[in-house]
Amino acid sequence: MPKPRAKASEPWTPESWKTRLEAHQVVYDDRDAVQRAVNKLQALPPLVTSWEIERLRSHIAEAQAGKRFLLQGGDCAETLADCQPDIIANKLKILLQMSLVLVHGIKKPVIRVGRFAGQYAKPRSSPMEKGKGPDGADVELPSYFGDLVNKAEFSADARRANPDNMVAGYQHAAMTINFIRSLVDGGFADLHHPEYWNLGFLEHADLPDALRDDYRKMTTELAEALKFMEALGETGIDELTRTEFFCSHEGLNLLYESAQTRRVPRRAGYFDLTTHLPWIGERTRQLEGAHVEFFRGVRNPVGVKVGPNADPGEVVQLVETLNPDDESGKMILINRFGATHVAEALPPVIEAIKASGRTVLWVCDPMHGNGVTTDGGVKTRNFDAILQEVEENLKAHRAAGTVLGGVHFELTGDDVTECVGGAAGVREQDLCLNYQTPCDPRLNYQQSLELALRLAGWMSEDRK
């Protein structure tokens, strides 16, 4: 049954989203079990704190003023099974290494945000999926909506939305965050030594000479800079690696988000304490919808994904609704137009926001507009298309006099073969070698590092 629509002027509460139509609403068959899970989540301690969220807001406000740069990256769909020390440490390591490359190239502090510790809920283009049952017959089952909702395995039992998964998701997010905090506290010993950076692939790759020389120059300079900082002792590399990380996820399952949304002593407003930086996905950003209603009321900074169908006027309205007082540090616009659309689609959005006078952080997600399926039916993305979309973003901002304030990638610190191209030399026929993602294809360690080098190179050119 469609729900009645609340008026925009009606007061916000952590539950007011329930009066709005919810895109991608999870359908549970046991309401009592849902209530039990929500009660449990309400009683459990927060995963992040209000002061961390306020600190991130102040960093984002500085990024909006061009003084910092946001690096956001991680899995498309994090799984509960990914809650393992090596997987988490490798993800943190690649993000940290990319951020050091960027700091070195753009000479600005980088805000490091992982898509982790809760990136467990996934929107899907179709609610149902066709496949083969255990007896080989054709069956149709609900799609996999992420481990917060159901399981990836293609069986009726696994695909049933189970409210207990919200509690399991919370618990795994807590374990992940706990490990991240300890790693960040202790620093990563091997990052003191760039020789441990696994950069050898750049030397052996089939690259144009000029590009290889550029990479060599940048990595040598970076190694020197790291050694220099290490020589400084106390204030040097330890400070740089014992550093802040924030976490983020798509705020898709509003039952989960609202159960951990609270007031805290001596601070104004409500905080969504499941994560520092939630974002609203391309499929759930309807102006009158439940997700926009929910996220307009929390103190957290909020990202909104904007795809090729977005009308510039509608993007302005979204920004006005989510941040009516135009507070700095709140709004992040993450565009994901696709390499072939961005040059045409981004400038009108930039101009509309400029004309509105609103404060946003401009972030480029070069992943979600560049999905392709191979003839063999494998979902992949091409490294060159990803690079092209980032470069087009830089061009558009240069032309408009605005600043690209951050990037948003799907990546992993492991040697997966999910995206094609790059110096890593992953070819279409290699995709089957180590294809792990349950959802969208991610950049591997080498592709991620190369992307950071390219971006740092372009952005340091901009400074000249």
Q: Which residues of this chain interact with ligand PEP, rule CB under 6 A?
A: 76, 123, 250, 281-283, 305, 336, 368, 440
Q: Residue with CB nearest ligand PEP? A: 281
Least distance (Å) between residue 107 CB and ligand PEP: 29
User: Per CB under 5 A, does 75 bind Co ion?
Assistant: no
Choose one: 14-22, 73-81, 87-95, 415-423; the region binding Co ion (CB under 5 A). Answer: 73-81
Choose the contact partner of 192 out of Co ion, ligand PEP, none; CB within 5 to 8 A by kind: none
Q: Residue with CB nearest Co ion? A: 76
Choose the contact partner of 330 out of Co ion, ligand PEP, none; CB within 5 to 8 A by kind: none
Pick between residue 257 and residue 440 the one whose CB is nearest to Co ion. 440
Residues 19/2, Cβ–Cβ less than 8 Å:
no
Least distance (Å) between residue 122 CB and ligand PEP: 7
What is the CB-side half-sphere exposure of residue 60 using CA atoms within 13 A?
29
User: Per CB under 5 A, does 76 bind Co ion?
Assistant: yes
* CA gap 87, 103 in Å, rounded: 24
Least distance (Å) between residue 100 CB and ligand PEP: 24
Choose the contact partner of 406 out of Co ion, ligand PEP, none; CB within 5 to 8 A by kind: none
Choose the contact partner of 282 out of ligand PEP, Co ion, none; CB within 5 to 8 A by kind: ligand PEP
Pick between residue 62 and residue 272 the one whose CB is nearest to ligand PEP. 272
Choose the contact partner of 62 out of ligand PEP, Co ion, none; CB within 5 to 8 A by kind: none
Choose the contact partner of 114 out of ligand PEP, Co ion, none; CB within 5 to 8 A by kind: none
Least distance (Å) between residue 410 CB and Co ion: 5
Least distance (Å) between residue 154 CB and Co ion: 20
Pick between residue 93 and residue 336 the one whose CB is nearest to ligand PEP. 336
Choose the contact partner of 123 out of Co ion, ligand PEP, none; CB within 5 to 8 A by kind: ligand PEP
Closest CA to 314 of 275, 353, 355, 343: 353
Helix axes 164-186, 85-106, angle to 10 degrees: 60
Choose the contact partner of 160 out of ligand PEP, Co ion, none; CB within 5 to 8 A by kind: none
Pick between residue 59 and residue 336 the one whose CB is nearest to ligand PEP. 336
Least distance (Å) between residue 116 CB and Co ion: 13
Residue from the set 292, 440, 441, 444 that interacts with Co ion by CB under 5 A? 440
Pick between residue 334 and residue 455 the one whose CB is nearest to Co ion. 334
Maximum CA pair distance of the chain?
A: 67
Name 443's bridge partners. 411
* CA gap 82, 216 in Å, rounded: 33
Choose the contact partner of 281 out of Co ion, ligand PEP, none; CB within 5 to 8 A by kind: ligand PEP
Amino acid residing at 283: R
Least distance (Å) between residue 219 CB and ligand PEP: 30
Least distance (Å) between residue 378 CB and ligand PEP: 18
Q: Which residues of 193-215 are buried (b: 16+ CB within 10 A; e: fewer)?
A: ebeebebebbeebebeeebbebb
Least distance (Å) between residue 281 CB and ligand PEP: 3
User: Footprint of Co ion on this chain (CB under 5 A)?
Assistant: 76, 440
